[in-house]
Amino acid sequence: MPEYQFRLMAHDAPTPLFEAVDAVDDEEARSLAEIRFLLSQGVARVAIVRSGVQIVRVGQEGATILSAAGAPGPSCDAIATGRGGMRKA
């Protein structure tokens, strides 16, 4: 079972809080991060980190999958609806 970290950024805190999370895969980790975000007051966003690399960011704008370089890729909603094609740089 892969180990993930949630990086919680509060509205009023300059540094993130880290939480260790066990999840079966990236999809389960994203679902847990969305729940954590929705149930937490004062949290601006939750980033999911696997093996030291941020892979997904969850916030008020929804979930954003990050590319290997850490740049935003298509949103999870866009992928689910088939609009998540690769963008030209």
Report the distance separating Cα 55 and Cα 58, nearest Å. Answer: 10
Q: Where are the domains of the chain?
A: 3-80
Give per-residue pLDDT as tens, 63-87.
677 755 445 554 445 544 555 444 4
Q: Is the pTM of this model over 0.75?
A: no
Give per-residue pLDDT as tens, 16-60.
999 999 999 999 999 999 999 999 888 999 999 998 899 999 988
Helix ranges, the chain (H)? 26-39, 76-80
- Residue 61: per-residue pLDDT: 74
Report the distance separating Cα 56 and Cα 70, nearest Å. Answer: 9
Residue 6 has pLDDT above 50, yes or no: yes
